[in-house]
Structure formats: C-alpha cells, structure tokens
Amino acid sequence: MVTDAHQIFNDFIKGAGLRGTEQRALILDTFLNTDEHVSVDDLFGMVKLENKKIGYATVHRTMKLITESGLAREVVFNDGIARFEHTLDTGHHHHFVCKSCDAVIEFNSDAVDAEEKRLAKAYGFEVQSHHFKIYGICKECRRKKRT
Amino acid sequence: MVTDAHQIFNDFIKGAGLRGTEQRALILDTFLNTDEHVSVDDLFGMVKLENKKIGYATVHRTMKLITESGLAREVVFNDGIARFEHTLDTGHHHHFVCKSCDAVIEFNSDAVDAEEKRLAKAYGFEVQSHHFKIYGICKECRRKKRT
DNA sequence: GTGTATGCAAAGCATTTGCAACGAG
DNA sequence: CTCGTTGCAAATGCTTTGCATACAC
C-alpha cells in the first residue's frame, strides 16, 4: 500500500465531505517540498510564485486542513509565530533553537520518550502530543563568539 | 542573606538606573501572590482591584522587567498567550497541559534534565532555557469521559 | 529640575472571519 | 444547480509603542 501524502490528504478531504481544488493541491505540494519549519507567511510567499492570485487566508485555512489530515504538525517557537513541520518519515523529535542565529536543530531521544511514558503513567495522563524545545547557543555560534 | 523577591527586584531596578514606583511594587506583589501561570490580562484584572487607574501597558512593561530581573519566566502554551511563572523555589520543571480542562500540571524529571545535558554536549549546544510541554488529557478528565 | 514612569489611545502583527463571486461535484 | 471554496478586506486579540502628563530622585 502506497501511503502517498497526496492520497492521505485527498482521503481526508473526501472523508470530511470537502472538495479538492487547485489551490489546495498547490499548497500541499509546496509544503511537501519544504524542509524547514515554515510559517504561513513563508508558504504564502512560495505559493504566490506559482499562483499570484492566491490569498493568505487560503494558505492559512489549507494548512489547518493539512494539519488535521495528520500530514503536518504545528510548532510555535519563542517568537510566537506558528510554523509547520512534516509528520511523515519524521517520528517524534524535538528542537534545539539557537537564539543567536535562529537555527533549528532537530534531535531524537529515546530517553526522553521513555521518560515521558513513565511520567504519563505516574500522573495518569493520556499523552496526545508534546513539545520539547531547548533554547541556547549552537556550536557554530559559540565558535564565532570565541574569536 | 535574605534573598527576598522584593529585594532582588529593587536591586535590579536600581542597577539598571530605573525607578521604584507604587505601581511596580503592586504588580510585583500581585504576581508573587499567584500560584498559577498568569497572563498579563489575569494580572491586569487582579491589579485593578487594588488600583483602578493602572494601565494594561504598565502591567505588561512591569512583567517584562520582572522577567528580566530573573523572578519570572515567560511560558507560552498552545493558545499563544504569554503567561508568567515564578522562578524562585521552583527549580527546573515542565508542564502537562490538559486539552480538555486546560489544567496545567507541573512536574520535575531528573531523567529529562540529565538527557538534556547529554544531548547538549553531544551537539555542542549551550543551553539557556528549555520548555518541555506534554499535551493530552488529565486523569480527572479521563475519568469523567469514561462515565 | 531632569529624566523616567504612567496611562491612554493608537499602532502592529499574526491570525481569523464575513461575504460576494466562483467553481467542484 | 447546490454548497463548499476563494480572495479580498475587515475584524480580532494580544502585544507594543507614542506621547503628554505625572512623579521619583
């Protein structure tokens, strides 16, 4: 079974009684071609290169749909701007955010995941999602500072 | 040595060449009397009970100062509203946020802290702060749901 | 007195919504 | 044809700023 992202999205759209449109396809494609954590604004800029008439609200609403379909996850860093990241092929992961250069470094940690499970059990909490962000100065910036 | 919060704040204010005022004292007192994670709006409401003439902007600006003085830490949950929590007597800690009742449960985890140190070392990252938030359904709400 | 702080109102921003025109099914 | 979608513009909600007045030092 091929679980292509487009297929997942289309299934979600149809399942919800919604309609497939050119704009939604374009926005999904654009999002799928990103690597970084993109904001609605970023995507809006990219999408406009292909379709100058598309509106900001459409991008915003479509990203909400993509998130609901399970293809994206919303992340908010300290600047308060919502960004989206892929969920496919990128299991649970966390973020280092460099306060100097704004770089975002993703990392995985079985230890954190295991500890989360332990804690959830201890507190009787049902986990739906989590965000672990570490803010600081990255290797590169520390090197630059030293010189 | 008594490290009273008021003293810390006053030292910070003086050190920065700023001035002590009635409003700042009132806002600090109000904040110190809170337990929960309070937003500027929450504090504004509480402070107005004591001083009806105080402005929202003053509360906002003062909370920024209190944060800078090291007495408070800013936390942002998924609703995008900035909230403040105490830093004194409350070492590093993390949050469970219940999506059903909005309760925030704080917890500590040596395992997470240790893992963070390990990761920082591995990535050459200098940690300044971190936010670990787990979203889900709390014990109480799970019980209610079942009935 | 001098320069910071306050309170008010207005500006900023990202996000969200209303609505008439449009287009998928 | 019917109803969801789009694009525009306006509204929202929190945060931030400008400025004249008030006040700490």
The pLDDT averaged over each successive group of 10 residues in chain B (147 residues) is 78 93 95 91 94 95 95 89 84 82 86 90 89 89 80
Nucleotide nearest to B61 (CA to C1'): D16
Of B128, B107, B104, nearest to B39 by C-alpha is B104
pLDDT mean across residues, chain B: 89
Contact B111 A116 (CB under 8 A): no
Q: What is the pLDDT of residues B72-104, one digit of tens each?
A: 999 988 888 999 999 876 666 889 989 888 888
Within 8 A by CB and 6+ apart from B22, the residues are B51
A114 touches strand C (CB under 7 A): no
The rounded percent of chain A whose pLDDT value lies above 90 is 52
Nucleotide nearest to A62 (CA to C1'): D5
Name the region of B92 (left: φ>0; alpha: ψ -120 to 50; beta: rest).
beta
Averaged pLDDT, A50-67 = 95
The rounded percent of chain A whose pLDDT value lies above 70 is 94
According to the model, what pLDDT value does residue B89 have? Answer: 63
According to the model, what pLDDT value does residue A89 have? Answer: 63
If you search the block for the tokens 């359904």, which residue do you land on? B137
Which residues in chain A touch residue B127, judged by CB atoms under 8 angstroms apart? 134-136
Task: Let me know: does B31 contact B66? Beta carbons within 8 Å.
Answer: yes
Q: How far apart are CA B137 and CA B48, in angstroms?
A: 34
According to the model, what pLDDT value does residue B144 have? Answer: 84
Of B104, B50, B51, B42, nearest to B77 by C-alpha is B104
Query: Higher pLDDT residue, A104 or B91?
Result: A104
According to the model, what pLDDT value does residue A3 have? Answer: 60
According to the model, what pLDDT value does residue A15 have? Answer: 92
Of B111, B96, B87, B91, nearest to B141 by C-alpha is B96
In the predicted structure, residue A90 carries a pLDDT above the cut 70: no
Q: How far apart are CA A105 and CA A52, in angstroms?
A: 32
- The DSSP code for A27 is H
